[in-house]
Amino acid sequence: MGIKKLGNITMVQLSDMDSNIYLIGDTVIDSGTGFNFTRLYSVVKMLKMSMADVKRIINTHCHFDHIGGNGYFLKAEIAAHEDDAEVIEKGDNEKSWADFFEGKLSPRPVKFKLREGDRIEAGGMELEVIHTPGHTPGSICLYDRKQKILFSGDTLFSDGIGRTDMPGGNEEDLLKSIERLMGLEIKTLLPGHGDWIKENATSSLKKMLSNPGEEE
């Protein structure tokens, strides 16, 4: 298990299977598979919080390794892009890829169906929703323009780009989404898996994309 802090953002890595989980005030960005409740509970307790203190979950997309833990936050309302919301609400095991993780997705209501340009306040940050289809139809990134921080979900990583060989994937859409992101000034990249880029992310990402490796 790994924990990193950046200002008021806590990044939690529970296991290789789980997405990165970001805690910002009373908001969580992605919730992992839900297989590692004890580890997650210990982190929340260490931050002098309870699971019920989390009031909102923002899911960057509808894959099981990012949404399977939604139900552990008992008081939280879920926000997700409108194009992925149905998968979460129906508990669609095929489209969420739950079967791949040998998990079972429980249906959850999506209170806030997000669209391009929506803004969400979280822990003193204003997060702008950027619709970045390709990994899934409703994949989003969240951008704080003031601090130039990008939460990139599974669209873009510090060492590669998102997969398109799973339900809802589209390589052409993904490349267009990445091209859009490269038009932003990004200081810090906080991806859905793996390490972050703390400084000069745009420059690092452009170098990585000019010599891409295999997709993640």
pLDDT (tens digit, 9 = 90+) per residue, 2-36?
Answer: 999 999 999 999 999 999 999 999 999 999 999 99
Instruction: For the chain, list the domains and their CATH numbers.
Output: 2-210 (3.60.15.10)
Q: For 88-135, write each residue's pLDDT tens digit.
A: 999 999 999 999 999 999 999 999 999 999 999 999 999 999 999 999
3-class SS at 72?
helix
What is the Cα–Cα distance from 162 to 52, expressed in whole angstroms? 32
List, in sequence order, the alpha helices (H) in 47-82. 64-67
Rounded to the nearest 10°, the torsion over CA 151, 155, 156, 161 is 170
Q: For 48-77, write each residue's pLDDT tens digit.
A: 999 999 999 999 999 999 999 999 998 999
In the chain, % helix, strand, coil (3-state, to 5) comes to: 25, 30, 50
The sign one gets for the Cα dihedral 111, 149, 13, 7 is: negative
Q: What angle do CA 25, 64, 213 make, to 5 degrees?
A: 95
- Residue 121: CB atoms within 10 A of its CB come to 12
Closest CA to 62 of 40, 39, 85: 85
What is the Cα–Cα distance from 139 to 200, expressed in whole angstroms? 24
Residue 167's pLDDT is 82
What is the Cα–Cα distance from 133 to 173, expressed in whole angstroms? 6
User: In the predicted model, is pLDDT for residue 42 greater than 90?
Assistant: yes
Closest CA to 134 of 209, 193, 216, 68: 216
* Confidence bin at 185 (pLDDT 50/70/90): very high
3-class SS at 111?
strand
What is the Cα–Cα distance from 53 to 43, expressed in whole angstroms? 13
